[in-house]
C-alpha cells in the first residue's frame, strides 16, 4: 500500500517557525547566545524586549535588529533584584502582551567546592537561579491572565555530567533544569509551556575573553583543545542555539513542555 502524506507549499514553509504578532523578553540579550536569540526571534516577526545590565551592549543588539527591519526595546535590569525585574516587566506589560520569556542571562564560575568562596557561591546562585525565579515569577501571572505563553530557560550540559572545576556553576544549572520541570507541571493547565536548553561549549565573546585572560599567547592552542571536548570537533555557534530556541518557542513545538534539550555536539552521549 502506498504511504500517503502531505507536502507543505512554499508559502506554508515560509510561515513555519514564525513569531508574528508575539512579544518576547530575552534576558542577557546584549551579547553571545542572548543576542543571537533576540536577533533570530526578531527576524521571525517577534517584538523583542532585551533585559541586560549592560545597556550599551543591549542597545547595540537593538540597533542591529532595527537595521534589519525588526523591532526591539532595551531595559537595563539586574535580574537578581526582584524589585527591578518587577518594575521593568510591568512597564513592558503596559505596552503589550508578552508571549515568550527567554531566561538566558547568567554567569560562569570556575572552582571546586573547596576553592569556591561563600561570596562566589552566593553570586552564582543569585544570578543563575534567583534571577530566573524572579523573571518567571514576574511573567507567569501575566501569561495566565492572557491565555498562556512560553518560557525557555538556558541550562547547560553541566547540569547532567560532572565537569571539572565547575562546582557552583553546575549547581546553578541543575537548579535551572529542576525549575523548568516544576513550572511546566504547575502551569500546564494554563497553556504555559516551559522547556530548557543545555548547550555544551558555545563560541561567544565570553570564551574569547576567558582565553585572553587565562592563556595569553596560547589562545589558539587552548581554543582548539576546548573545541575538541565536543565529539563533533568544534564549539557551537550562538546562532545554532538560537535556531533551537526559535523552534521551542514557536507553535511548531506546541506539544513540548517540561523537557531539556541538549545541544552539545555529542558531548553527553558520544564520549568514551
Distances from the Cα of 59 to the Cαs of 28, 35, 46, 76, 102, in angstroms? 12, 11, 17, 10, 18
**SS3 at position 218:** coil
Q: Which residues are designated catalytic?
A: 169
Helices (H) and strands (E) in the chain, counts: 10, 7
Location of C-alpha cell 501575566: 142
Contact (Cβ atoms closer than 8 angstroms) between residue 29 and residue 238? no
User: What cell was used for 260?
Assistant: 531539556
Dist. CA 238–CA 71, nearest whole Å: 20
Sign of the Cα torsion 34, 22, 77, 56 reads positive
User: What cell was used for 1?
Assistant: 500500500
**SS3 at position 145:** helix
Contact (Cβ atoms closer than 8 angstroms) between residue 194 and residue 183? yes
Dist. CA 198–CA 55, nearest whole Å: 26
**SS3 at position 101:** strand
User: What cell was used for 160?
Assistant: 547532567
Nearest to 138 by CA among 27, 20, 253: 27
Amino acid at each position: 500500500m502506498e504511504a500517503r502524506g502531505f507536502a507543505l507549499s512554499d508559502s506554508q514553509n515560509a510561515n513555519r517557525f514564525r513569531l508574528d504578532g508575539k512579544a518576547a523578553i530575552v534576558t542577557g540579550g546584549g551579547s553571545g547566545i542572548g543576542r543571537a536569540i533576540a536577533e533570530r526571534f526578531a527576524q521571525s516577526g517577534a517584538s523583542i524586549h532585551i533585559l541586560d545590565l549592560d545597556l550599551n551592549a543591549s542597545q547595540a543588539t537593538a540597533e542591529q535588529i532595527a537595521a534589519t527591519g525588526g523591532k526591539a526595546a532595551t531595559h537595563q535590569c539586574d535580574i537578581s533584584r526582584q524589585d527591578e525585574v518587577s518594575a521593568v516587566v510591568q512597564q513592558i506589560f503596559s505596552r503589550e502582551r508578552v508571549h515568550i520569556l527567554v531566561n538566558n542571562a547568567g554567569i560562569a564560575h570556575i572552582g571546586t567546592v573547596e576553592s569556591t568562596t561563600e561570596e562566589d557561591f552566593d553570586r552564582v546562585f543569585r544570578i543563575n537561579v534567583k534571577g530566573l525565579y524572579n523573571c518567571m515569577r514576574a511573567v507567569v501571572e501575566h501569561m495566565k491572565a492572557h491565555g498562556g505563553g512560553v518560557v525557555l530557560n538556558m541550562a547547560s550540559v553541566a547540569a547532567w555530567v560532572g565537569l571539572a572545576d565547575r562546582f557552583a556553576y553546575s549547581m546553578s544549572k541543575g537548579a535551572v533544569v529542576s525549575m523548568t520541570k516544576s513550572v511546566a507541571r504547575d502551569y500546564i493547565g494554563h497553556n504555559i509551556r516551559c522547556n530548557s536548553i543545555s548547550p555544551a561549549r558555545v563560541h561567544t565573546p565570553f570564551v574569547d575573553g576567558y582565553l585572553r585572560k587565562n592563556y595569553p599567547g596560547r589562545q589558539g592552542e587552548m581554543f582548539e583543545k576546548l573545541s575538541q571536548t565536543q565529539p563533533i570537533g568544534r564549539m557551537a555557534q550562538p546562532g545554532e542555539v538560537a535556531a533551537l530556541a526559535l523552534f521551542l518557542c514557536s507553535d511548531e513545538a506546541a506539544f513540548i513542555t517540561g523537557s531539556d534539550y541538549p545541544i552539545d555536539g555529542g558531548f553527553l552521549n558520544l564520549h568514551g
